[in-house]
Amino acid sequence: MADEISLQLQINSVIELYSNGNIQEALDTIETLIVRYPNESLLYNIDGVCLKASGQLEMAVESFKKAIVIKSNFADAHYNLGLTLQELDQNQAAVESYEEALVIQPNYAEVHNNLGIALRELGEIDDAVKSYKKALAIKPNYAEANNNLGNALHELGELEEAIEHYQKVLIIHPDYAEVHNNLGNILNELDQTDEAIKSYEKTLSIAPNYIDAHNNLGNILKELGQTHEAIKSYEKALAIEPEYAEGHNNLGNALKDLGEFSEAVIFYKQALAINPHYDDAQYSDGYEDRFTSTYEWTTFTIDHCLLNDEIEKVYIKTHPNIDIINYPGNFIANKKLIKRYLENKKVIFLRKNSSIVLFSTIAVQNGFNFHSQVAISKGAIEGLTRSLAAELAPKIRVNAIAPSLTDTPLASKFLNTPQKIAAQAENNPLKKIGKVKDVAEAAAYLLTDKSSWTTGQILHVDGGYSTIK
């Protein structure tokens, strides 16, 4: 009995050390106790918690497993094992641990919540929602579960219900910064712009270094046309976290909108240098166009910024009244952009020889492996070119350029060795790789009165690839 009391006192001492942040001292003490009491499951569980806190995740897993071997119905050990496996991105294994814990203790709200998190990571959103709701049935005021449920409902498009859960959190915890940010995201989607801005600003009043809120505020200001203010928000995010790839990318977008193409390229390249392959990014300029990865979007945009810069060198500086419409997007994006431009820039009908130039690819007419998506999108661009040429004649000419492989960042993986360059050049009758300037010169021609009798055409700038065999 005395030994049990002594052990409990020592465990209490370890817990106090852990609570005060003295993790290593707690760890040293608990491992000494394990030597003396090798069959105490609680000690292995505490050891695992300390190891997890110190970043030794694999060792923590082993400690939790030892606790479970000694006591199979140890719900906390199963739960802690699940948490650690989740940190190791072993979400399926984490789900199994959480389910074991719930067999032992069905009303364990925290387990239901974290099971929901793991299921959401696995893409099982509907099941995640069920888990969060079970957690809330047990603990209705569980702030984290309400927030997580709101996030899952947001993902499912259940926006109004998501808002309800965010608001439940804020009634109990009005200073929950993450929830204010999440609420702002939904309000923005619902076009409640002013309220969304207030939510982001509230987030930042609570947590001034909340990077995502600075970024999100920047995005909404950019949408509103307040580009300079948006830039300030992105810069604040980058001041807090210089390695924030999305911030660099979005700052590049804003600079692009201002026509600062060379500066934009710098930030796009910085984004790629930090994280070349971050996926599932969404570019938003009022059109919600989704690309397969930020890498593709960013390199694509770099290409177009370089082209815009080159067009300026060739033509724009001597023709200050021209507006560059060079949006690196798909058919729908270009259609919407042109529609918006024509609605807001009716003065162009008063100009002589107004011209729109779109961009396609030779992949529309030449079959290439792994080009089906771009061929579909750009094929629509070519159809749009001809249709608009008919609709807008005689006041506005509409043409498109269809280049082949050109020496740009997007093509770098095909041109990163002398051997690859030589091989690609050999494919063209002119035996060379096209440059940005070649495309820019063609665009400048189509924009000037030199092409005043040309409309509805697809100009192939491809070294003869598409026509000479």
User: From start to end of 101-172, where are the E strands?
Assistant: none
For the sheet containing 458-461, what is the strand order? 354-359, 396-403, 458-461
- Tell me how many domains the chain contains: 1
* pLDDT for 187: 94
Q: What is the pLDDT of residues 361-371, one digit of tens each?
A: 887 777 766 56
293 forms bridges with which residues in the sheet? 279
Q: Look at residue 179 and tell me whether its pLDDT is greater than 80.
A: yes
Q: Look at residue 3 and tell me whether its pLDDT is greater than 80.
A: no
Q: What is the pLDDT of residues 268-297, one digit of tens each?
A: 888 878 877 643 233 333 323 333 344 444
Q: Look at residue 11 and tell me whether its pLDDT is greater than 80.
A: no
446 is in which domain, residue-wise? Answer: 325-461
* pLDDT for 122: 93
The answer to the question of residue 336 being in a domain is yes
**CATH number of the domain where residue 345 is located:** 3.40.50.720
The answer to the question of residue 307 being in a domain is no
Task: Quickly count: other Cβ atoms within 10 Å of residue 124's Cβ.
Answer: 16
The answer to the question of residue 61 being in a domain is no
* pLDDT for 111: 96
The answer to the question of residue 367 being in a domain is yes
Q: Look at residue 352 and tell me whether its pLDDT is greater than 80.
A: no
The answer to the question of residue 287 being in a domain is no
Tokens found for residue 227: 């580009």
The answer to the question of residue 453 being in a domain is yes
Is it true that the peptide bond before 394 is cis, omega within 30 degrees of 0? yes
Q: What is the pLDDT of residues 108-127, one digit of tens each?
A: 999 999 999 999 999 999 99
The answer to the question of residue 400 being in a domain is yes
The answer to the question of residue 391 being in a domain is yes
